[in-house]
Amino acid sequence: MPHATIIIIGAGVMGQGLAEAIATAGHEVTLVDKTTKLAEKGIRGISEAIEREIGRWGLTKSDKRAILARIFPSSDLSEAEDAEIIIEAIPEILDRKQALFAKLDTICRPDALLITNSGTLSISEIASATQRASKIIGMHFLNPVTRIPLVEIVKGLRTDDETFQKAVEFAILLDKKWICVNEYPGFVTTRIMVPLLNEAMHVLMEGVASAEDIDKAMKLGFGFNVGPLTMADMMGLDVVMSWMENLIRELSDHKYNPCPLLRKMVRAGHLGVKTGSGFFQYDEDGNKINGESASAEAKQQGV
């Protein structure tokens, strides 16, 4: 595995984080999207993320050059033909993931490790689109991938031991701590975190406290490194809402029903850090603008 050929499909936020993490670990990776322009845009996003790390003294300019030199953009899915590890990081939409894995099933070599990064969807249901369900596994990395040391390794109902062990080796390759999860909607992290985020949004919507004070309460009172509303902004409010919708569809539990304020903000395009406006305001580098809460204004305007 030290010389594994690694392909990531999907150059969005998660694909970028995964590519950066893999390249930082010293391995070459191909970042595939629908067009080469989208893949190149993803690499620009990685470059910008590294620049922010350089500003924090976390990396150097030479680190940046070395990392970017290991990441290659592509729009050709056939790149996966000879790959040892293929990671799917496309949007959390079941039929799109199934269609992709059905294609990969016809392209990839029999011993390839096929990974979905889904945070809420059924690994077994995704794998059912292939003739190799025993070789499909979930690896739920959390955002930002380069900073969070955890990955959930999720077994589908038919995932075999060999595939699980390969996933463990890949996690170790990236210097990640891992937990083993038996398939269940939301796994561990998403299932527990989503109701907390949702409740924080309800507390804000009901005027109990400001966004700043809600986050401060959870950070100082319970040792959170990041407050729940800031966390939702970082994840992307559209992504958080898609998780909630998937979980309520799977579990029919009201605690996963998206807060009305969240629905309004997503409809208005206030998606968090990536759009510069969510529960807080952000500058073009993704840094929070102190003292500016977008959510209060949005609520007053009925957004």
Q: From CA 14, how far away is CA 20, in angstroms rounded? A: 10
DSSP code per residue over 140-204: EEPSSTTT--EEEEEE-TT--HHHHHHHHHHHHHTT-EEEEEES-TTTTHHHHHHHHHHHHHHHH
Report yes or no on 266 lying in a domain.
yes
Whether residue 31 is found in the same domain as residue 137: yes
Q: From CA 124, how far away is CA 156, in angstroms rounded? A: 5
Report the chain's mean pLDDT, rounded to a whole number. Answer: 92
- The secondary structure of the chain in percent helix, strand, coil, rounded to multiples of 5, reads 50, 15, 35
Whether residue 122 is found in the same domain as residue 16: yes
Are 262 and 197 spatial neighbours (Cβ–Cβ below 8 Å)? no
Whether residue 12 is found in the same domain as residue 141: yes
> In the listed set 182, 205, 221, which residue is the last one of a domain according to the structure?
182
Whether residue 127 is found in the same domain as residue 240: no
**pLDDT of res. 10:** 97
pLDDT digits (tens, 9 = 90+) for 8-58: 999 999 999 999 999 999 999 999 999 999 999 999 999 999 998 898 888
**pLDDT of res. 50:** 94
Whether residue 206 is found in the same domain as residue 77: no
DSSP code per residue over 25-51: TT--EEEE-SSHHHHHHHHHHHHHHHH
Whether residue 178 is found in the same domain as residue 197: no
Q: From CA 217, how far away is CA 113, in angstroms rounded? A: 42
| Domain limits for position 246 | 190-296
Nearest alpha carbon to residue 175 among 13, 17, 22:
22
- Over 50: is that where the pLDDT of 297 sits? no
- Over 90: is that where the pLDDT of 205 sits? yes
Please give the DSSP secondary-structure letter assigned to residue 113.
E
**Binning pLDDT at 50, 70 and 90, where does residue 293 land?**
low
Report yes or no on 301 lying in a domain.
no
Whether residue 85 is found in the same domain as residue 200: no
**pLDDT of res. 287:** 84
**pLDDT of res. 302:** 47
Report yes or no on 129 lying in a domain.
yes
Report yes or no on 303 lying in a domain.
no
Whether residue 64 is found in the same domain as residue 148: yes
Please give the DSSP secondary-structure letter assigned to residue 275.
G
- CATH number of the domain where residue 215 is located: 1.10.1040.10
Report yes or no on 288 lying in a domain.
yes
**Total-model pTM:** 0.87
Are 109 and 103 spatial neighbours (Cβ–Cβ below 8 Å)? no
Whether residue 171 is found in the same domain as residue 77: yes
Report yes or no on 1 lying in a domain.
no
Q: What is the β-pairing status of strands 150-155 and 136-141? A: antiparallel
% of residues, the chain, pLDDT over 70: 94
Nearest alpha carbon to residue 245 among 264, 258, 231:
258
Whether residue 75 is found in the same domain as residue 104: yes
Measured at the CA of 77, the angle between CA 160 and CA 3, to 5 degrees, comes to: 60
